[in-house]
Structure 1
Amino acid sequence: MRFLLTCFPLIILALTSWANTDSLLYELNQVIINQGQYVEQKQQRILHYREMLSSEMSELELFQVSDSLWFEYSSFQFDSAFKYANKMLELAEEMADSPRQAEAKLNLAFIFRSAGMYKEAYQTLESVNASNLPVSLWVRYYESMGRTYFDLSSFNDVDYFVESYGNLGNLYLDSALSLTEDKTLQFYRLKGLKAEASGNYREALYLFHQIIEQFDVSRHQKAMAFYSLGKINRALNNEEEYLDMIIRAAIADIQSATKETVATMELAGYMYEQGAIEAASIYINQAATDAKFYGAKQRVIQVSSLLPLIESAMLLNAQDKSKKLLGYLVLVSLLSLLIVLFAFIIYRQNQKLNKTKRSLSLAYESLKELNEKLIESNTIKEEYVGFSFAKDSEYLHKLEKFKMEISKKLIEKRYDDLKYTLKQFDIESETARLNRKFDEIFLKLFPNFIADFNAFFKEEYQFKLDENKPLPTELRIFALIRIGITEHEQIASILGYSVRTIYNYKNKVKKLSVLSSDEFDVQLMGIKAFE
């Protein structure tokens, strides 16, 4: 009796917790069913702003409406968000308005980071003109830099860079916090982000709870706070709190028509771990639909790594059900009047199973092909992001050394030595060295590129290369095209040639090929990496 009295409150607490989770899951499933109405509300707001656009508006008014459209699209559709952020930048440049140029670039950096385009996000932030910015934009700038470094820290598996990027992220958040008023929504958000990234989970829990409890935040802001609370609770092994917070985050994401979301994918992974395969299938397909709608490659890669596992488990469940059904058929076969009925049921079940197998097989092959392309694209980007950061650091060091040397000679009034110092900075030699490094990285990613490319030509027109020689310009042009740089203007800018020269090189090579122009382009993009 005493034992029952002791355990009774614990039993009631556990039942209450399970009932609460079931209630939240039911609410989430209803929200998924009705998600069309939330998307419709979002599209109505977008339509309202688009109807406001007019050629009779001033540049400032156009800028403000474009900003509203960017905000609506920022977590909804990448392409449209990118379009209106660029429109803002064009208008700001026409107005020669430095703060608004910075605001537009911060918007661009946000969507680049959301799509996993960390190099582009970093380069955009680096291009922000820091002079004459209001405090609010300084805070946004510091926060954006901090988040970019935190994302790079999560993306990179090398311990040295994880720690280095994490430290840089914390420094930028400290700068943002130094300009933020205490106990405001922005203060709690920045403080919570820093505490979470630094592993101060108890402090982070308090700060994110303050956001939800003290402020009238939007559904999207609430979703982000719930998601952070979920991840923090999991780090603290509070599994029930983790699950509740992730479900709440998923509900708020769908209600705010947020397509750039990870909550449903996180929930699908948890359900899969717990063996709730049907629920996992519902949530992973929701995550896949959202990622495709938004257009975030990073999310598609993450979803595509989990989707086949869940769908395979679904198939095994279906096979298990089929086996059980066959067992029941053996047992009831003694009842002759029911044999025909059960045989028909089994036949129909197997037909559906085979159809499911074929559909899943086709879907798996399609996902496998997409995953290979995304992995290739991600690896290429990772190589060149690392190369870009390394070279930026190297040139900053050289410029600092060069600056100190010139300053010294100016102070010492050794003006004649300045010419000699300037001659030491050989742009042509540095460009050649960069091109050689590009060749090295490209041939590492595509070791069979030259052999595969030569297969497009008769033997007398094939490229014969010395092992230690750089790639000729013609091959370097097609190497850039293979990694996705297809615009003539971009290629010309990278290689230091005119657009006409690039065009002539391309046409000259294509005319020597045994392939048609269209076949040539298809075969070029089909050259495999990492073989």
Structure 2
Amino acid sequence: MYSSIGFQDQIFFNFKLVYFYALFCILHLFQYLQFDMLKFLFSILFIQFILCETSIAQTDWSKQLDHYISKRDEIDAAKKETIKNLLKDLRFTREEKNRDKEFSALMKSVKAYEYFVYDSAFKYAQAANLLAYRLKDESKIAESKSKLSLIMLLKGLYTSSIDTLNTVEYQYLSKDKRKEFYSTAYRAYYDLSGYSRDKHYSEAYKKLGHYYSRKLIDEFPKPSFEKVLGMALQEMVSGELSKAENHYFDLLNNFKLNDHETAIVTSGLGFIYSDKNESEKAKEFLMRASIGDIKAGIKETTACRSLAELFYREGDIDKAYQYILLAKADADFYGSEQRKFEISYTLPLIESARFQKENKQKKMIGLISLLVLTFSLIILRQLQKLRQARKEIVNSNENLTCVNELLREASRIKEEYIGYYFNFSSQYIDKLEDFKKSISRQLMTKSYDNIEQELKKYNPRNERQRLFEDFDRIFLKLFPDFVKRFNQLFDEKDRIVLKDDLSLNTDLRIFALIRIGVTDSEKIAGILNLSVNTIYTYKTKIRNRSIYPNEAFDLKVMAIKSV
């Protein structure tokens, strides 16, 4: 029965979920684009949504009503169990053939069924009436007829109810039963007055209702529920809503009421406040009436239908639909034609509004989904661009770091070797200067033999070896791990083993020169005093021994770090 309500809640939940996701996407995009004004507008939308959520928060009475709605089946089951026990008692009295007890058991069964299931209530009321006639007991006949009249009234059979009422000889009724009779009578005429479309008949029925309510008031001066209720109804149908309100509050505050009586009183207050357009109070008391009906297991009720109509007028279609379904379920369960007729006017209006709302929500969800998809694609594209830009920045930073490292290394190499060059050149110039002076002196003294001895002292091979040693020393200062890292490019058997850790051999010198940027074979050959072919031969032989391909080998050599 309530599955459609769950579906409605699910739609609303999905709607909120999509709505929040859409707003999140928009915010994310706005943050990325740094649109301050759009961020402000988003904040306004978000606050508006939260306020909207707060405005539809349930009241305490609404929560209580929802709680008791969830307990309806348990309450009804308990009532059915009570009725089951009453029917057992009825069967027992019939087996005893004690007619007085049987009549009492029948009336108890009627009482249990009268606001619960019409067919059963009518069945046992008829049985009680037939038994009363068999017993020829005027009091029991009047009592059973009065009860039959009430049950037909609850069914909506006004003519039959009043016809039966008119046959009741209520002078035979006890005081309590006579109060019940008067209550049934004024209620029947007041209800008929309200439903009659003919003003003449409506006024006539109203007068008859007043007649019976006054009889109850006059005959029973002591305050009672039936008496004060009659006074309240009399004022209501006369348009004296404030006076009726006072009577209802008198009942509510000064009488010990059961759940059913509480439902009757609060329902009356709900109708008064509804007529006064005080919708919040009307909803509160109609909710309280609905709670009382559920707790008492009452199925013949108007509170839920009236509550549904109030929520419908206020535009709360979900609540209206929930309560009209509840009212319809009660009317169907009881079998009240009048309540079914009343609901048949309201239910199509609420269902139509609900259908329109669902369509709007579906369209809205579709629109928001489209917006979400659009913004998601935009955000995705922007994120892709952002990732690409970040990747390029990272690559640029890596390249810049690499370039800076190379520049630092080149600067260090230049610093070391330029310093060495100036020092070496200065020493060489000093040596040449001394050599020149010595030769000049020898020439002046014509000591040609001494000149020859001086010339023999100069050994280019030793000078070049000293140059290599200085180069090795400076290079190993810059690249202390060069030999170790270079050897890692070969198998164990092909690795170079040096006699002196402070000098390089020709193989290592060639690639040391390449590492500091001297890659031209002619220049390398000139520096090392070797032929170009020899340099090529060395390079090829060394590369072929490596565990890496030639290109990879060269890259590995260039990757050896300086300090």
Matched, 1:52 2:89: yes
Query: Are the equivalent residues in 2 in contact too, given 1:21–1:244 (CA < 8 A)?
Result: no
Contact 1:52/1:65, CA 8 A, preserved across alignment: yes
Once the two structures are TM-superposed, the CA of residue 192 in structure 1 deviates from its matched residue by 1.6
Q: Does 1:228 find its partner at 2:268?
A: yes
SS of equivalent residue, structure 2 residue 220: coil
Counterpart residue number, 1:40 = 77
Per-residue Cα deviation, 1:301-336 (whole angstroms, up to 9, x for no partner): 111111111111111111111111221233244445
> Are positions 1:161 and 2:201 aligned together?
yes
Who is 1:190 aligned against? 230
1:31 aligns with 2:68: yes
Distance of aligned partners of 1:20 and 1:215 in 2 relative to their CA distance in 1, 3 Å threshold: farther
CA–CA separation in structure 2 for the residues paired with 1:173 and 1:277: 39
The 1-side partners of 2:58 and 2:228 are apart by: 27
CA-based RMSD: 2.2
In structure 2, distance between residues paired with 1:90 and 1:265? 36
Alignment of 1:393-412 (within 5 A): none
How many angstroms does 1:130 deviate by? 4.2
- CA spacing shift, 1:23–1:86, aligned 2, 3 Å: same
Counterpart position of 2:221:
181
Q: Is 1:259–2:299 an aligned residue pair?
A: yes
Conserved in 2, the CA contact under 8 Å of 1:259 and 1:293?
yes
Whether 1:281 and 2:318 are equivalent positions in the alignment is no
Distance in 1 between residues matched to 2:126 and 2:151, nearest whole Å: 11
2:120 matched to 1:83?
A: no
Number of the residue aligned with 2:495:
none
- Map 1:99-114 onto structure 2 (within 5 A): 99-114=139-154
Given that residues 183 and 226 in structure 2 are in contact (C-alpha distance below 8 angstroms), is that contact kept between their aligned partners in structure 1? Answer: no
Counterpart residue number, 2:365: 325
Residue 272 of structure 1 corresponds to 312
Deviation at 1:181, TM superposition (A): 2.8
CA contact (8 A) 2:269 2:282 kept: yes
Distance, in Å, in 2 between the alignment partners of 1:273 and 1:63 is 48
User: Which residue is equivalent to 2:50?
Assistant: none
Go from structure 1 to structure 2 and tell me whether the alpha carbon gap of 1:69 and 1:212 turns closer, same or farther (over 3 Å shift): same
- Distance in 1 of aligned mates of 2:113 and 2:57: 33
| In 2: Cα distance, 1:285 partner to 1:192 partner | 30
Q: Contact 1:281 / 1:311 at 8 angstroms: preserved in 2?
A: yes
Provide TM-score, normalisation by structure 1: 0.58
Q: How does 1:428-507 map to 2 (within 5 A)?
A: none
Which of 59, 65, 70 is residue 22 of structure 1 equivalent to?
59
User: Structure 2, unaligned stretches of length 5 or more?
Assistant: 1-54, 381-563
**Structure 1 CA distance for aligned equivalents of residues 224 and 61 of structure 2:** 30
Q: Distance in 2 between matches of 1:129 and 1:39?
A: 35
Q: Distance between the aligned counterparts of 1:279 and 1:131, measured in 2?
A: 48
Shift of 1:140: 3.0
Deviations 1:277-309 (A, max 9, x none): 111111010011000000001111111111111
Aligned partners of 2:213 and 2:227 also within 8 Å: no
Structure with the greater alpha carbon radius of gyration: 2
Paired position in structure 2 for 1:216:
256
CA distance in 1, matches of 2:225, 2:368: 61
Q: Deviation digits for residues 180-233 of structure 1, max 9, x if unmatched? A: 133233322222222222222222111111212122211001000000111122
User: Within 2, Cα distance between the matches of 1:236 and 1:269?
Assistant: 15
Q: Name the residue aligned to 2:330.
A: 290
Q: Aligned equivalents of 1:182 and 1:111: distance in 2?
A: 27
Corresponding residue of 1:141: 181
| Count of aligned pairs | 323
Amino acid of the structure 2 residue aligned with 1:46: I
Amino acid at match of 1:86: Q
Q: Distance in 2 between matches of 1:178 and 1:123?
A: 24
Note closer, same or farther for the CA distance 1:58–1:337 as it changes in structure 2 (3 Å cut). farther
Change (3 A) 1:20 1:100: farther
Q: Deviations over 1:438-462 (max 9, x none)?
A: xxxxxxxxxxxxxxxxxxxxxxxxx
Q: Highest relative contact order (Cα 8 Å, sep 6+), 1 or 2? A: 2
Distance 1:137 1:222 in 2: 21
Specify whether residues 20 and 73 from structure 1 end up closer, same or farther in structure 2 by C-alpha distance, changes over 3 A only: farther
* Cα-to-partner distance string for 1:471-525 (whole Å, 9 max, x where unaligned): xxxxxxxxxxxxxxxxxxxxxxxxxxxxxxxxxxxxxxxxxxxxxxxxxxxxxxx
Q: Deviations over 1:155-182 (max 9, x none)?
A: 1111111112111210121112111133
Amino acid at match of 2:226: Q
1:139–1:179: 8 Å Cα contact kept in structure 2?
Answer: no
Within a 5 Å distance, the mapping from 1:258-407 to structure 2 comes to: 258-334=298-374, 335=376
Unmatched 5+ residue regions in structure 1?
A: 1-17, 340-531
- CA distances 1:121-171 after superposition (whole Å, capped 9, x unpaired): 011112223453333333333332222211111111111111121112101
Superposed CA deviations along residues 418-469 of structure 1, whole A, max 9, x for unmatched, are xxxxxxxxxxxxxxxxxxxxxxxxxxxxxxxxxxxxxxxxxxxxxxxxxxxx
Could you tell me which amino acid in structure 2 is paired with residue 22 of structure 1?
Answer: T
User: Judging changes above 3 Å, is the alpha-carbon distance between structure 1 residues 338 and 179 closer, same or farther for their aligned structure 2 residues?
Assistant: farther
Displacement after TM superposition at 1:255 (Å): 1.1
Render the CA deviation track for 1:394-425: whole Å, top value 9, x for unaligned: xxxxxxxxxxxxxxxxxxxxxxxxxxxxxxxx
Q: Which residue of 2 is the match for residue 13 of structure 1? A: none
**Contact 2:61/2:287 (CA < 8 Å) preserved in 1?**
yes
AA partner of residue 51 (structure 1): K
Match of 1:241 among 262, 275, 281: 281
Match of 2:134 among 85, 91, 94: 94
Percentage of identical aligned residues = 28
Partners of 2:143 and 2:173 within 8 A in 1: no
Q: Aligned pair in 2 of structure 1 residues 132, 27: CA closer, same or farther (>3 Å)?
A: closer
CA distance in 2, matches of 1:283, 1:144: 27
What is the TM-score of this pair, normalised by structure 2? Answer: 0.55
Q: Which amino acid aligns with 1:33?
A: S
Greater Cα offset, 173-182 or 26-35:
173-182
Preserved CA contact (<8 Å) 1:180 1:186:
no
| Residues 180, 226 of structure 2: 8 Å contact kept | no
The answer (yes or no) to whether the contact 1:114–1:296 under 8 Å persists in 2 is yes
Q: Distance in 1 between matches of 2:144 and 2:57?
A: 43
Taking a change above 3 Å as real, the CA distance of residues 322 and 132 of structure 1, as seen in their structure-2 partners, is: closer
Instruction: Measure the CA separation in 2 of the matches of 1:218 and 1:160.
Output: 37
Q: Which moved more, 1:312-321 or 1:102-111?
A: 312-321
Determine the C-alpha separation between the residues in 1 that align with 2:106 and 2:309.
37
1:338 CA drift (Å): 11
Query: How far apart are residue 25 of structure 1 and its match?
Result: 0.5
Aligned to 1:442: none
Aligned to 1:88, the other structure's residue is in SS state helix
Q: What one-letter code is carried by the residue in structure 1 that aligns with 2:209?
A: G
Q: Which amino acid aligns with 2:246?
A: Y
| Alignment-mate amino acid for residue 271 of structure 1 | F
